[in-house]
Structure 1
Amino acid sequence: MLRIFNSLTRQKEEFHPIDAGQVRMYVCGMTVYDYCHVGHARVMVVFDVVLRWLRDKGYDVTYVRNITDIDDKIIRRAQENGEDFHDLTARFIQAMHEDLAALGILPPTHEPRATEAIADIVALIQTLLDKSFAYAGGSGDVYYDVRRFDCYGRLANKKLDDLRAGSRVEIEDDKNDPLDFVLWKAAKPGEPSWPSPWGAGRPGWHIECSAMSTRCLGAHFDIHGGGMDLKFPHHENEIAQSEAASGHRYVNIWMHNGFVQVDDEKMSKSLGNFFTVREVLQRYQPEVVRFFILSSHYRGPLNYANENLEHAKASLTRLYTALRGLPMVEAPVEEGWRTRFEQAMDDDFNTPEALAVLFDLAREINRLRVEDEAAAARLGITLKHLGGALGLLQDDPERLLQGKSIFLVSSILSRSTTSVADLTVATIPEEQINVLIDQRTAARKAKNWAEGDRIRALLQEAGILLEDTPKGTIWRRE
């Protein structure tokens, strides 16, 4: 039975969908004014694995991941660039899709945009006004009245007075309480706006997700996810808005992934210590980045460091090396291994433990490879299948180990004069490597061991490792 840690109740709970066999899940997506950084990548990979595992267990999953394409940061960046905000968001939506595709993120069922949900947002705000959970301020803004919602603070596990005492929000002239938050912002000169019963303006951030989630999934759905930084106030406010409007429970299970840290500080744009996905992918294959993210439990911190990415790279290489050269066979998944893997994933998506199962399986494949290649090949099918539930090990082992999709150190290497200093960054042609391997093989047959060693060392310094097997010399990226 799948058990998920519910941030609302602060304990693991058995997962029972509202409708048998169907799961409805919403995850807060990107605010598109810049490139995705590793913190964003973690959210996307974590809930991609949740999606994959739910589908692997046979659920029909409707997955909604929104795009915030209007807010203060977007308006400010567009003004700084001197461009229309639509052009800015279109550019970064395309970049986001490219980054997510590179990381193997499956597309959501629906990807609503805030600017396309204005009518739903206006209707939801009107409902809150009609039920006296909201009020119009004198400046044309509309606010949510937190005092009217008895359960406010439940997700943050704090009482209203405690939140108020610790609030940094200054009381504005037309706000009743420092914790009251804006639902509709009155238009300012030069800013995008839409018509509403309260005058031209634009939605507040929190109301956008309530409107988009309930439009796509209904007023009550199974799972809502996002980063830990969204827990308060964003998700707290979503609960208050949505449950006040509907009169019943909004979401059954709340999931939050932990922060990405750099030198024990949260990675974020505001701190200036973030790395974009594009920057990281210049140095590491996308699957290495994905493996790195899954090597820590989703609720814990993830420490970004080059040594941790290098460890992920070496670990992924071990798994692909176990699959390398195995003959293609048709075989069922070995139930014993499936059971162990399933126990790990059903325990709140424990990916580190699931990866440990894959390494045990790889060791068994390597042991069997010598004495029973057919048995090793059958286990290879199981390894590839279980890895697929994590979005791993679906590439061709030769392709990945030889690094054909990333930049390598390369040059036309001559037989006797080329040094590492002559190498330049480019995509190394496979033919080039094979020529050198053939030259090394010929040198070894002629008992010219020095030349053979020189070629091996030259390739190794360029990041190419050779392995001599009974079937000949094979190579892979370091």
Structure 2
Amino acid sequence: MESRQQPPWQQPPARPDARLPSLKVWNSLTRSKTPFVPLDPEGRKVKWYACGPTVYDDAHLGHARNYVSTDILRRILKDYFNYDVQFVMNITDVDDKIILRGRQQHLFNKYITEHPNITPEVLETARSAYSAYIKKNLPLINPETKPEEFTAEVDKVYGVVLKGGSLEADKKPGDTETKIKMHVKTATASSSAIAGAAKKPETSSQAFYDATQDVFCYYLDVTQGSTIPGDAYEIFTKLTKKYEDHFMRDMRDLNVLDPDEITRVTEYGPQIADFVEKIVANKFGYVASDGSVYFDIKAFEEAGNHYARLEPWNRNNQPLQRDGEGALSRATEKKSPDDFALWKSSRPGEPSWSSKWGQGRPGWHIECSAMASSCLGSQIDIHSGGIDLAFPHHDNELAQSEAYWHEHKHQWVNYFLHMGHLSIAGSKMSKSLKNFTTISDALKRGDYTARSLRIVFLLGGWRDGVEITDELVKNASSWEEKVNNFFVKVKDPSTYQISATDAASTETLTQALKSTQDKVDEHFCDSFDTPRVMAAISELITTFNSLDIQTLEPQAIEATAKWVTRIVTIFGLNGATPVDKCEIGWEGTDVPEVAKQYLYPLSAMRDSLRQAAMSGNQITSDKVKEIIGAAAVKDADTTEAAKPYSQALKSFSSQLASLSLEDAKSSSKEILSLCDRLRDVDLFNLGIYLEDRENKPALVRPVTKDLLQAREEQARKALQKQQEKEKKERLAQEKLEKGKLSHLEMFKTSEFSAWDEEGMPTKDAAGEPLAKSRGKKLRKDWERQKKAHEAWLASQQGK
């Protein structure tokens, strides 16, 4: 048997003088942290291939987890370790899911065009589609169940699952139960729409088709899918082009760097066919009678190779293998059930391309092998993707690529990096489970920003599963606010107005910075351990905050600020700013440049006035004029963008000048009131916040999301307090109003026929004496009313 060349981390660098960082990465091939040694003899260039999206729907937060985390690692390699990274990513624009989705959408849209109104014929088709969908996806329910009876039947059959239980009593619910809930939701919406339309034919056709779309799509594909011509590529590319554009938009919105090169399956048809042909020529593939081509695992291993090196424990996992083959696959003439398709003969309704074996299309796994090899050659440093791709996709890629490059006798990929899943309530976020939030929706709603979502992933680590929890989101928000406040402080001019330097404090900060730099380097070298890097940055800022800024050497403050800025920029937290162009801070911590010439003098004037007002001393008109004069700004050429800030300065100065300052107490109160209004209303509405600090100048900072939320929470509490006060007053008034009725008259009703001198009943309506027990109860009511009446009488005095 022949053996393959040893991987590079087991060999010395090609050049003895090639200096490499002591970086180790978790490699799925070794299932351990291994030294990172590029193939490049110079030790600088890194070839990286990333599995991109299958574009048949909008990208969701699970995709964001994969591609943002990949982007973070790419940036660290490029901007921290200074590697020259060649990053290639594929777009899967033809596979079984795309074929199904594209075909279904085409047939459904065609059906709607031909049947714009809900006719008896449409309702009959809808019932057939509903029954077919139930038979396929909810096998415990009789497909003949009438739409009107579906809800009751599903509660009876799947009630346990719908209440959060499992199909199997001794197991926890998982993806199977999640899929059942999804299918129940679809069938419920469809059954309700069908039943409703049967009763009311005038039902909106738009609403009807919206509710029944999924069952129609499945049914129309089963009954008419084979009518789609094999060369009708536009049916599928129309779908994929739309969602590829959406994906790239979402990635840019998340500040993910564009790939250096994008490959698309539909653009590599001939190369893929040639790739398969060579594997067959190398005797590692065989052709079935229908024109499909399969990979021969037995022949591959007999030649000295190993299959399923990434996840050998899944080698015989038939469900995973079937999923890897695709929903439209069919096993014909396989030598072994483990063998996988390199090329699939196309059936009616599937897109097809010419090959020496007839009309067909690429298998799922072969596309990446052919495209990566075409762009990056016979060996690749890094291959990445989500952890769910490890088997069978990446294991199959690895095998077929080494079968193609067999004469080289070396490993095709040296480092496999797999990103962990994103989960919600313990279930993986996925399109097939329909338990996802799209990236676009999450950003539009304000659930996350590009920065806040990236921080969540940085805190979670790249290869670990991340579950979105309130605690994780809270931790990410706290980290972001802490760094944001740090940048606001170090960017504020008053920070550098040193009163008296203190060598010990400066040394403390300098040593903290050096220690943090060493820790961060250690953590980055330890397989990109971003959670510990994030913690180290937080600790450094804590140290900084514990020191008196007014005693620190400006150079020490600046060095700390620049270093933190560099690291967060490497992480992609500073917008599109390149690392070599970044200044202190990240996006959103600086006030508009045009506003500075007005805001800083205005803030300084307000500081002086507040200090004078809080001192309790008399503030003279001359003093106010002096303070206003010191803040005066010549703005003859004020730009349109600067006018709101210029006007804020003028308005505040004018209001101060008009104050009556005869009484020290009242004038101080008025000045403080004006200062608060400037902070809380005038400037806040311009997106500027003055953060007052004890014995220090106010920080001039932009209004952030957290400040807005705090303002909204404050307003919510104030409203709640007001509502509670009004409710209390209303209840008190209602109670008082009940006291209008005199206790002497309260029982003078037809329910009784005789009363004593206090108005207490002695006989019921029939003239019978009242029982003692009833008399006692009525006496308690009488006493309560007496107190209420006396309270009401007291409230009326003086009116």
Normalised by the length of structure 1, the TM-score is 0.84
Does 2:563 align with 1:372? no
Superimposed CA distance per residue, residues 278-318 of structure 1 (whole angstroms, 9 cap, x where no aligned partner): 12212122111111111112111101235533431231121
Q: Give yes or no for the alignment of 1:340 onto 2:364.
A: no
Residue 362 of structure 1 corresponds to which residue in structure 2? 541
Which residue number corresponds to residue 386 of structure 1?
Answer: 567
- What corresponds to 1:75 in structure 2? 99
Q: Does 1:298 align with 2:520?
A: no
Cα–Cα, structure 1 residues 446 and 260, in superposed 2: closer, same or farther, change >3 Å? same
State the partner residue of 1:351: 530
Shift of 1:42: 1.5
Q: Kindly tell me: are residues 165 and 381 of structure 1, through their superposed partners in 2, closer, same or farther at Cα, counting changes over 3 Å?
A: closer
- Corresponding residue number in structure 2 for 1:156: 311
Quickly say closer, same or farther: Cα 1:365–1:434, change in 2 above 3 A.
farther
Gapped regions of structure 2 (runs ≥ 5): 1-21, 107-233, 324-328, 494-509, 578-583, 593-640, 657-665, 707-799
Change (3 A) 1:239 1:450: same
Q: CA deviation at 1:268?
A: 1.0
**Residue 38 of structure 1, aligned match among 61, 65, 71:** 61
Select between 285-294 and 171-180 the one with higher mean Cα deviation: 171-180
| Residue 450 (structure 2) aligns with | 286
8 Å Cα contact 1:32/1:93 also seen in 2? yes
1:225 maps onto 2:249 in alignment: no
Structure 1 equivalent of residue 269 of structure 2: 118
Cα distance in 2 for partners of 1:128, 1:376 equals 61
Distance across 2 between alignment mates of 1:130 and 1:437: 81
Q: By percentage of residues, which structure has more strand? A: 1
Q: Counterpart of 1:252 in 2: which secondary structure?
A: strand
Who is 2:728 aligned against?
none
Partner of 1:181: 340
Bigger relative CO (Cα 8 Å, ≥ 6 apart): 1
Matched ranges for 1:380-419 at <5 A: 380-393=561-574, 400=588
* Whole-angstrom distance in 2 between the partners of 1:243 and 1:343: 35
Q: Percent identity?
A: 34
Does 440-449 or 97-106 show the bigger shift? 440-449
> Which consecutive unaligned segments of at least 5 residues does structure 1 have?
405-428
What is the Cα deviation at residue 454 of structure 1? 8.4
RMSD (Å), alpha carbons: 3.5
Which one of 478, 482, 488 corresponds to residue 324 of structure 1?
A: 488
User: 1:153 Cα shift?
Assistant: 2.0
| 2-structure distance, mates of 1:403, 1:98 | 28
1:236, CA displacement in angstroms? 0.7
Task: Give CA-to-partner distance per residue, 1:192-219, whole Å, 9 cap, x none.
Answer: 2211111122111100000111111111
Q: One-letter code of the match for 2:449?
A: Q
Matched, 1:236 2:398: no
Report if aligned partners of 1:183, 1:206 keep a CA contact under 8 Å in 2.
yes
Structure 2 CA distance for partners of 1:215 and 1:296, relative to 1, 3 Å: same
Please state how far the C-alpha of 1:84 moved relative to its aligned partner. Answer: 2.4
Deviation track 1:415-455 (CA, whole Å, cap 9, x = no partner) reads xxxxxxxxxxxxxx999999999999979985256787789
Q: Does the aligned pair in 1 maintain the 2:382–2:416 contact within 8 Å?
A: yes
Q: 1:49 to 1:165 in 2, by over 3 A?
A: closer
Asked if 1 retains the 8 angstrom alpha-carbon contact of 2:321 and 2:392, the reply is: no
Q: Deviations for 1:369-411, whole angstroms, at most 9, x for unmatched residues? A: 332261212210011012222112457858525999xxxxxxx
Aligned 8 A contact 1:171 1:177 in 2 = no
Mapped partners of 2:590, 2:559: distance in 1: 24
Structure 1 residue 92, shift from structure 2 partner: 1.4
2:669 is matched with 447
Structure with greater proportional helix content: 2
Distance of 2:537 and 2:514 partners within structure 1: 14
Indicate conservation of the 8 Å contact 1:222/1:253, yes or no.
yes
- For the 8 Å contact 1:341–1:386, the answer to whether it is kept is no
> Which residue of 2 is the match for residue 424 of structure 1?
none
Deviations 1:434-478 (A, max 9, x none): 9999999979985256787789788999x9975214444645321
Name 2:778's counterpart in structure 1.
none
Q: Match of 2:111?
A: none
Shift of 1:138: 2.3
Larger radius of gyration: 2
Do structure 1's residue 256 and structure 2's residue 418 form an aligned pair? yes
CA contact (8 A) 1:365 1:380 kept: no
1:205 and 2:364 correspond: yes
Mapped to 2, the partners of 1:76 and 1:432 lie a distance apart of 56
**Deviation at 1:335?**
5.2
Stretch deviating more after TM superposition (446-455 or 59-68)? 446-455
Q: Is the CA contact (8 Å cut-off) linking 1:68 and 1:113 kept in structure 2?
A: yes
Among 126, 137, 148, which residue is 2:288 paired with?
Answer: 137
Distance 1:234 1:385 in 2: 37
The residue that corresponds to 2:630 in the other structure is none
Matched letter for residue 158 of structure 1: W
Q: Distance in 1 between matches of 2:382 and 2:548?
A: 42
Distance 2:362 2:346 in 1: 10
1:269 lines up with 2:439 in the alignment: no
In the superposition, the TM-score normalised over structure 2's length comes to: 0.52
Counterpart of 1:36, as a letter, is A
Contact preservation (8 Å) 2:66, 2:421: no
